[in-house]
Amino acid sequence: MTSLEIGLTSFPVLLLLIFLRVPIGLAMFLVGLFGLYFVTDGWNMALSRLKTETYSTFSSYSLSIVPMFLLMGHFATLGGMSTALFKAAESWLGHKRGGVAMAAVGACAGFGSICGSSLATAATMGQVALPELRRYGYSGGFSTATLAAGGTLGILIPPSVILVIYAILTEQNIAKLFLAAFIPGILAAIGYIITISIYVRIHPDSAGTREPIHYAERFRALADVWPVLLVFLLVVGGIYLGWFTPTEGAAVGAAGTGLIALVNRGLNFSTLIESFLATGRSTAMIFFIVLGAAFYNGFLALTQVPQELAQYVTSLGYSPWVVLAIILSLYLVFGCVMDSLSMILLTVPIFFPIISQLDFGLTFEETAIWFGIIVLIVVEVGLITPPVGMNLFVINSMDRTTPMVETYKAVTYFVASDIVRVIILVAFPSITLFLMRLLN
């Protein structure tokens, strides 16, 4: 077999391992390791690359942003920020039809601005909002679907761990990617709120009602979210004002949320150690997947599969928009069986060379950033798409009384909202690029 044939054969082998429940990081690592053995006819190159790839991957300064954002999310939870966000949103929206669900989405968006992880956002807001949704008579399937969808805002609204990984893979500016994600993130939250409004009109028995709260109480609840606003402005504002780099901004954010948690008496020696351990476990999992992907993608580069595939696609003469539509459709399919980080690490090194050679009427940097946001949104859809839908499992594990099938039925409305948003952002790239162009 030629090197190209070995590279192409690795895809079905990798998918088979994934379907056999082999962890995605380990599957990519093993396929890359044995692929190098067959391509180079021996273990020398494979074992040598094991040493160099490990060092070159984890010596990247940019990767230190990942544990900082994860730790910031843990400290934010300990500081009571998730509860404050939900109470504030509920005080203003709770009396409307479907208002408590809308408040949950708004709180997820706010928490996502200081967390950066979808699963963490879903789990944290699920603990806060799920009891309130059930208290006011919201159906189980609607409640769990709303929180699962709202949790996806954790990776779309900056800061985002997934965007950091994408920036490293494509060598793009992290700050510009964060900036480009703002408007799509806001559109996502608005789209989910509209979806809730439509759902409760189609299924009026799925949501209860509650009495409006006096305006004085609303403003008091709103005042309680100032720590969230302060951390967000400090981190994101500091990055764009040039006070510090994104990595430094993540460290400042973690320190700031830790200080707030300490003042609010949510942080003590025990919870500090617990936060460090939880951050360490999550970081280790992410980094092992990153290593496996780096090893596998290094093997693919040696076989010339990405380059040959890019040349083949461009030689077909298809419209760039058709090629993009096919790639995004593949992401939707992958999202049914894979988690978001694995999809990004596995597919971006293959698809990005193809996209970078197509003409969308944008500069190379604009194309890279626009494609990154589109991919992030489609990956976000995968988090709530059956049968895997990681967010669906996280939320349903908190509500054992709700059958998973009920969550699946309700979440289709949110998936439809996501697909409409993808179509809009694909058709009008300037929506995504507006803020980046404005501040350039």
Asked if residue 218 lies in contact with residue 91, where contact means CB atoms within 8 angstroms, the answer is yes
Return the pLDDT at 113.
84
Q: What is the pLDDT along the chain (440 residues), one digit of tens a residue?
A: 788 888 888 888 888 887 787 888 888 899 988 888 888 877 887 888 888 888 887 887 778 888 888 888 888 888 888 888 888 888 888 788 889 999 999 999 988 888 877 878 888 888 888 888 988 889 989 999 999 999 889 888 888 888 888 998 888 988 899 899 999 999 999 999 999 999 999 998 888 777 788 878 888 888 888 888 888 888 888 887 888 888 888 899 899 999 999 988 888 989 999 999 988 988 888 888 888 888 888 888 888 887 787 788 777 778 899 999 989 988 887 777 677 777 888 888 888 988 988 889 899 999 999 999 999 999 888 888 877 677 888 888 888 788 888 999 999 999 999 999 999 999 999 999 998 888 76
Q: Is 104 exposed, middle or buried (0-12, 13-18, 19+ CB in 10 A)?
A: buried
Return the pLDDT at 329.
86
Return the pLDDT at 294.
83
Within 10 Å of residue 131's Cβ, how many Cβ atoms? 13
Within 10 Å of residue 316's Cβ, how many Cβ atoms? 8
Residue 398: strand, helix, or coil:
coil
Q: Which of 189, 134, 168, 157 is nearest to 58 (CA)?
A: 168
**CB neighbours of 257 closer than 8 A, spacing ≥ 6?**
72, 75, 76, 79, 81, 114, 227, 231
How many degrees, rounded to 5, is the angle at CA 65 between CA 105 and CA 88?
Answer: 25
Tell me which residue has tokens 């994408």. 166
Within 10 Å of residue 253's Cβ, how many Cβ atoms? 29
Alpha-carbon distance 110 to 86, whole Å? 9
Alpha-carbon distance 286 to 279, whole Å? 11
Alpha-carbon distance 84 to 286, whole Å? 29
**DSSP string covering 318-349:** --HHHHHHHHHHHHHHHHTTS-HHHHHHHHHH
Return the pLDDT at 419.
93
CA distances from 283 to 19, 66, 161, 247 (A): 24, 7, 11, 15
Q: Which of 402, 418, 393 is nearest to 123 (CA)?
A: 393
Largest CA distance in the chain: 75
Residue 347, CB-side half-sphere exposure with 13 Å CA sphere = 24
Q: Which of 149, 187, 179, 183 is nearest to 163 (CA)?
A: 179
Evaluate the CA torsion angle 70, 183, 176, 382 in order and state its sign. positive
Four-point Cα dihedral 79, 185, 165, 80, nearest 10: 10
Q: Which of 182, 240, 188 is nearest to 432 (CA)?
A: 182
- Give the predicted TM-score (pTM) of the model: 0.86
Alpha-carbon distance 431 to 302, whole Å? 37
Alpha-carbon distance 272 to 75, whole Å? 8
Which DSSP letter does residue 42 get? Answer: S
